[in-house]
């Protein structure tokens, strides 16, 4: 063993320190040889438990965020295995995507080789964490036996009308040369991956009809009781349901028999509609624009051509527009109001036209001020009527003013009445809209799942026959700088004529939106999965992953499950029953106060007074998410080589509750290593003294001393608390605190109790710490004389009778004066206390044959008899 693998703490010198790294390797070898973590078929009446981590992208190295994610899932999986459930705990690889393709292009390596090498490296790193993964269930989305079924699922969607192709203005990333989904463009209009300014292009694209499921995806959030509230709110906002009305505004020109349909969520403000704004892409625009304004429109379109939807609707960007030279008629006021074109109105949202109500909408207000349009207030703050003429928009609900017969009504009531009025007069329709757009899945990339369709001159787009799947990746030509897929010649399955194969591949989110279904049946070569097995194992009992997937991945997975249910491939309607979104792992970060430049922690001599080695300037010390660019990362392998995986696991679980951010701190890591060593020493230093042996925590020895009883009580309290912490809300940190209390008690009582009770406490500690420190507990288990694996051991149950004080002294008062006492069992309820108190000599004497006027009982203390 080299000096690097030895802990640098003071414990190193101890002759009896725990050889974590050596022992962990030993147990990992044994586990690999055994069937310990294999998924067992559930017995009759046995509960199944599906523990799932979000699978990683195979970048080649595990980071601390991964470690935290998988350790949390592992503790949960181990607990349920010990509780007697049939557990499925799989792992796989989200293996398509750009980095492999970029590596192939830049370094001339095959994308599949690059990916598979990374997978091999990461699998080794995962195994060193001591995870109870069933590696027989492993999948990789880039392997033929997986993507064949992704294609199969695509064809199912195509055949049921849920996949379609249409020409669309798309977000084009000029660096990665691909189309991005709206969600992959940040609020500054840049690609989430390359950071490039996104351009607009018109291309034929494949879409999935997620919008068909908008209402169901929204309503079924109510079924997800085991999801964090914030994730549900994010999904709800993303779906963005709003109830409003479509309202027709007639164009004020008898030659133009046209109406403009606007959508509004605030029909109650229609009396304040001072103008109309339509999107520059609106289908009627070329018909209605006045000849004198046509050039202005062409120029205007030029100025917004490069802007993303996010740019155009961004709150910080000034709104711009032009007058069309045409007006419309407000259907309630009869006023003539101008029609404008505005960049902030998108043709893809609702009708692509809005009514401008500057008094009650911030964007409209800004637009009206800029172009000197009138502003009419029609809603009043019910608590402050002085705000009628404001210097800004009043966007809340309130009471209607300046609204003819609707004046005085409350906004909500007026909304309904105005829609009814408009429906009666044929200018309004109640309308529900969603912000959710169909899911754009095609990518012009090589390293992805090929879309299994062909283009035939006679038959159009035709899905490939399922028998001929998989449609293999087109192997890239020797010149890896050009990896665009070739449009190969194929035979049309319908008419047998020559046709061309589709060259687009699918968004990797498509591959990851069904992987949890494949795990249960990953060797099936006839179907993507058997629906009987899905029924047996799903919905997933516990899903663990990062909050960054709160919207897209989780929404796409929910959609796909619902779509597959409608095609009768499965029976479930939600994929994940319980969701835990773990917080970030943050590293100690040093940053310049002036330039905000990051300085590597290796260059800092005194972390308490950090100074920039180049400039001598004082630096800020902060905790931020670990990343290469901030030089604040901690390599999992370094920690494992120094302290072992059990220490890393305990630290991660102890330092913060799982959903909170975790600040990596070396001295706290050492603290956990010392905890492990204290456990280790109480076993190894007392082998002969305690006559170490397994004693079941449920065993009830006779003739116990006061100290024996006290320690036994602590054992059962620990079992109770740890079980509660793990089962109710994954509070691993408080569970580990309880184990520390138990260990302290064992040290305190080790010379005062009989050996049976001491061994019972050691047995309990070993079993309870097993999910957290799987290697250490195996070693201790062996020292207790057991030859099976502790991970096959069943979880202990606490004995409530041990936990209660057996009896206590109950003071008896008569008319508030102490007259005596009795000993009562602490399990007694008020009725039993009353009965035994009244039966005492003292009570009988003072009552003298009469009933008590009143009885006042203070449980655990006294009874006052009022005579």
Distance, in Å, from the CA atom of 507 to the CA atom of 178, rounded to the nearest integer, reads 10
Cβ distance 310 to 278 under 8 Å? no
Between 491 and 600, whose beta carbon lies closer to Zn ion? 491
C-beta of 495 vs 603, nearer to Zn ion: 495
Q: Does 551 bind Zn ion (CB under 5 A)?
A: no
In this complex, which beta carbon is closest to Zn ion, that of residue 414 or of residue 454? 454
Listed ranges 25-33, 47-55, 126-134, 455-463: which one lies at the site for Zn ion (CB under 5 A): 455-463
Task: Rank residues 305 and 458 by Cβ distance to Zn ion and give the closer one.
Answer: 458
Least CB distance to Zn ion at residue 461 (A): 10
Whether cis (ω within 30° of 0) applies to the bond prior to 496 is: no
Q: CB of residue 374 vs Zn ion: minimum separation in angstroms?
A: 59
Which among 411, 395, 404 is positioned nearest to 331, based on CA atoms? 404
Chain positions 383 to 442 lying near Zn ion, rule: CB under 5 A, are none
Closer to Zn ion by CB, 498 or 827: give it.
Answer: 498
Please, which residue, 494 or 819, has the CB nearer to Zn ion? 494
The smaller minimum CB distance to Zn ion, of residues 455 and 712, is found at 455
Distance CA 559, CA 230 (A): 19
Give the interface segment with Zn ion, choosing from 58-66, 229-237, 435-443, 450-458 (CB under 5 A): 450-458
Beta strands, E only, 299-418: 321-329, 336-342, 353-356, 379-380, 399-400
| Secondary structure class of 505 (helix, strand, coil) | strand
CB of 452 to Zn ion, least distance (A): 15
Shortest distance, position 471 Cβ to Zn ion, whole Å: 17
Least Å from the CB of residue 462 to Zn ion: 6
Q: Which stretch binds Zn ion (CB under 5 A): 309-317, 451-459, 612-620, 815-823?
A: 451-459
Hey, what are 3's tokens?
A: 């000096």
Query: What six digits make up the tokens of 421?
Result: 């009025």
- What part of residues 111-150 is at the interface with Zn ion (CB under 5 A)? none
Q: Which stretch binds Zn ion (CB under 5 A): 12-20, 65-73, 449-457, 520-528?
A: 449-457
Rank residues 494 and 786 by Cβ distance to Zn ion and give the closer one: 494
CB-CB contact of 544 with 578 (8 Å): no
CB-count burial class (<10 Å; 0-12, 13-18, 19+) for 713: middle
E strand or H helix that includes residue 410:
none
Tokens found for residue 9: 């703490």
Report the chain's terminal Cα–Cα distance, integer Å.
Answer: 81
- Does position 459 interact with Zn ion (CB under 5 A)? The reply is yes
| Binding flag, residue 453, Zn ion (CB under 5 A) | no
Q: How far is the CB of 225 from Zn ion (least distance, A)?
A: 50
| Stretch binding Zn ion (CB under 5 A), from 358-366, 401-409, 454-462, 773-781 | 454-462
Nearest distance from C-beta of residue 540 to Zn ion, angstroms: 42
State the CB neighbour count (10 A cutoff) for residue 813: 18
Tell the smallest beta-carbon distance from residue 165 to Zn ion (Å). 16
Footprint of Zn ion on 619-638 (CB under 5 A): none
Told to check if 856 binds Zn ion by CB under 5 A, we report: no
| CB-nearer residue toward Zn ion: 490 or 564 | 490
Q: Which stretch binds Zn ion (CB under 5 A): 358-366, 452-460, 564-572, 735-743?
A: 452-460
For residue 779 the two structure tokens come to: 């070693």
Least separation in angstroms between residue 203's CB and Zn ion is 23
Q: What minimum distance in Å lies between the beta carbon of 466 and Zn ion?
A: 17
Locate all alpha helices (DSSP H) within 220-308, ordered by sequence.
229-239, 285-288, 294-304
Tell me how far apart the alpha carbons of residues 753 and 686 are, in angstroms, rounded to a whole number: 14
Rounded Cα gap, residues 580 and 182, in angstroms: 26
Q: Which is nearer to Zn ion, 459 or 704 (CB)?
A: 459
456 binds Zn ion (CB under 5 A): yes
Provide the minimum distance between the beta carbon of 485 and Zn ion in the complex, in angstroms, as a whole number: 21
User: Of residues 788-827, which lie at the interface with Zn ion (CB under 5 A)?
Assistant: none
Contact predicate 157/208, CB 8 Å = yes
Return all residues near 357 (Cβ < 8 A) that are at least 6 apart. 264, 266, 269, 270, 272, 273, 274, 364, 378
Quote the CA–CA distance of 253 and 237 in Å, as a whole number.
40
Rg for the chain (alpha carbons), in Å?
35
Helices then strands, each counted (H, E), the chain: 27, 33
From candidates 458, 801, 815, 826, binder to Zn ion by CB under 5 A:
458
Q: Any idea of the CA torsion for 665, 670, 675, 677, to the nearest 10 degrees?
A: 160
The CA distance from 433 to 450, in Å, is: 33
Bridge partners of 252, per DSSP, are none
Compute the least distance from the CB of residue 503 to Zn ion, in Å. Answer: 18
For residue 328, what are the β-bridge partners?
251, 337
- Identify residues 467-496 at the interface with Zn ion (CB under 5 A): 492, 494-495
The nearest distance, CB 474 to Zn ion, in angstroms, is: 21
Q: Which is nearer to Zn ion, 498 or 615 (CB)?
A: 498
- Smallest separation, CB 631 to Zn ion (Å): 58
Between residues 463 and 528, which has the closer beta carbon with respect to Zn ion?
Answer: 463
Size of the residue set binding Zn ion (CB under 5 A): 6
Q: Tell me whether residue 492 or residue 770 sits nearer to Zn ion (CB atom).
A: 492
- Comparison of 375 and 501: residue with beta carbon closer to Zn ion: 501
State how far the Cα of 768 lies from the Cα of 219, in Å rounded to an integer.
40
Task: Give contact residues for Zn ion (rule: CB under 5 A).
Answer: 456, 458-459, 492, 494-495
């Amino acid at each position: 063993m080299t000096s690097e693998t030895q802990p640098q703490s003071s414990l190193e010198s101890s002759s009896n320190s725990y050889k974590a790294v050596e022992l962990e390797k030993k147990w990992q070898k044994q586990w690999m040889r055994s069937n310990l973590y294999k998924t067992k078929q559930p017995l009759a009446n046995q509960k199944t438990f599906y523990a799932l981590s979000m699978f990683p992208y195979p970048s080649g190295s595990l980071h601390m965020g991964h470690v935290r994610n998988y350790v949390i899932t592992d503790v949960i999986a181990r607990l349920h295995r010990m509780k007697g459930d049939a557990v499925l705990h799989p792992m796989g690889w989200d293996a398509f995507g750009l980095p492999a393709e970029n590596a192939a292009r830049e370094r001339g390596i095959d994308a599949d080789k690059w990916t598979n090498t990374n997978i091999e490296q990461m699998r080794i790193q995962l195994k060193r964490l001591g995870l109870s993964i069933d590696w027989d269930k492993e999948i990789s989305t880039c392997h033929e036996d997986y993507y064949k079924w992704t294609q199969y699922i695509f064809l199912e969607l195509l055949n049921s009308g849920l996949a379609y192709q249409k020409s669309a203005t798309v977000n084009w990333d000029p660096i990665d040369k691909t189309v991005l989904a709206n969600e992959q463009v940040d609020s500054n209009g840049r690609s989430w991956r390359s950071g490039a300014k996104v351009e607009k292009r018109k291309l034929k694209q494949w879409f999935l009809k997620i919008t068909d499921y908008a209402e169901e995806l929204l309503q079924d959030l109510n079924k997800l009781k085991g999801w964090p509230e914030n994730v549900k709110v994010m999904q709800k906002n993303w779906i963005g349901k709003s109830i409003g009305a479509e309202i027709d505004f007639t164009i004020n020109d008898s030659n133009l028999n046209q109406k403009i349909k606007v959508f509004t969520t605030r029909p109650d403000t229609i009396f304040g509609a001072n103008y109309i704004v339509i999107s520059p892409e609106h289908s009627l625009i070329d018909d209605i624009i006045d000849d004198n304004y046509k050039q202005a429109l062409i120029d205007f379109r030029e100025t917004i051509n490069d802007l993303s939807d996010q740019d155009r609707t961004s709150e910080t960007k000034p709104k711009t527009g032009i007058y069309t030279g045409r007006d419309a008629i407000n259907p309630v006021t009869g006023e003539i109001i101008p029609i404008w074109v505005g960049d902030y109105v998108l043709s893809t949202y609702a009708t692509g036209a809005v009514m401008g109500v500057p008094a009650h909408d911030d964007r409209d207000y800004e637009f009206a001020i800029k172009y000197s349009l009138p502003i009419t207030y029609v809603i009043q703050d019910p608590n402050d009527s002085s705000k009628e003429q404001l210097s800004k928009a009043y966007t809340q609900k309130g009471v209607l003013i300046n609204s003819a017969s609707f004046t005085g009504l409350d906004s909500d009531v007026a909304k309904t009445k105005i829609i009814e009025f408009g429906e009666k007069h044929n200018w309004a329709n109640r309308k529900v809209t969603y912000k959710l757009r169909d899911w754009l899945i095609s990518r012009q990339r090589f390293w992805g799942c090929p879309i299994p369709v062909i283009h035939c001159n006679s038959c159009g787009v035709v899905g490939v026959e399922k028998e001929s799947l998989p449609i293999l990746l087109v192997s890239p030509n020797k010149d890896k700088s050009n990896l665009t897929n070739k449009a190969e010649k194929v035979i049309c399955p319908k008419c047998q004529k020559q046709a061309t194969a589709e060259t687009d591949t699918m968004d990797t989110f498509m591959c990851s939106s069904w992987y949890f279904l494949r795990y249960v049946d990953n060797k099936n070569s006839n179907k993507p999965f058997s629906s009987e097995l899905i029924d047996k194992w799903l919905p997933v009992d516990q899903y663990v992953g990062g909050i960054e997937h709160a919207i897209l991945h989780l929404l796409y997975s929910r959609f796909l499950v619902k779509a597959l249910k409608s095609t009768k491939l499965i029976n479930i309607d939600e994929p994940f029953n319980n969701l835990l979104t773990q917080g970030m792992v943050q590293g100690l970060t040093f940053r310049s106060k002036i330039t905000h430049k990051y300085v590597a922690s290796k260059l800092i001599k005194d972390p308490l007074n950090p100074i920039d080695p180049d400039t001598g300037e004082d630096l800020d010390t902060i905790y931020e998410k670990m990343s290469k660019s901030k030089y604040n990362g901690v390599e999992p392998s370094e920690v494992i080589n120094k302290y072992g995986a059990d220490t890393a696991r305990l630290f991660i679980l102890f330092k913060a509750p799982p959903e909170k951010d975790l600040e990596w701190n070396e001295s706290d890591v050492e603290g956990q290593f010392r905890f492990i060593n204290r456990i280790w020493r109480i076993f190894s230093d007392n082998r002969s003294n305690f006559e170490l042996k397994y004693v079941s925590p449920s065993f009830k020895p006779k003739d116990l001393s006061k100290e024996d009883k006290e320690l036994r009580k602590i054992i059962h309290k620990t079992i109770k608390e740890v079980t509660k912490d793990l089962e109710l809300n994954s509070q691993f940190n408080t569970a580990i605190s309880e184990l520390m209390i138990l260990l302290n008690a064992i040290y305190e009582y080790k010379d005062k109790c009989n050996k049976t009770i001491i061994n019972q406490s050691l047995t309990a500690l070993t079993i309870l710490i097993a999910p957290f420190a799987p290697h250490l507990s195996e070693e201790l288990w062996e020292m207790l004389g057991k030859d099976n694996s502790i991970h096959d051991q069943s979880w202990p149950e606490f004995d409530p009778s041990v936990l209660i004080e057996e009896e206590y002294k109950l003071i008896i008062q008569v008319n508030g004066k102490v007259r005596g006492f009795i000993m009562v069992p602490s399990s007694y309820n008020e009725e039993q206390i009353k009965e035994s108190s009244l039966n005492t000599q003292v009570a009988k004497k003072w009552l003298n044959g009469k009933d008590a006027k009143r009885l006042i009982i203070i449980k655990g203390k006294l009874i006052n008899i009022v005579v």
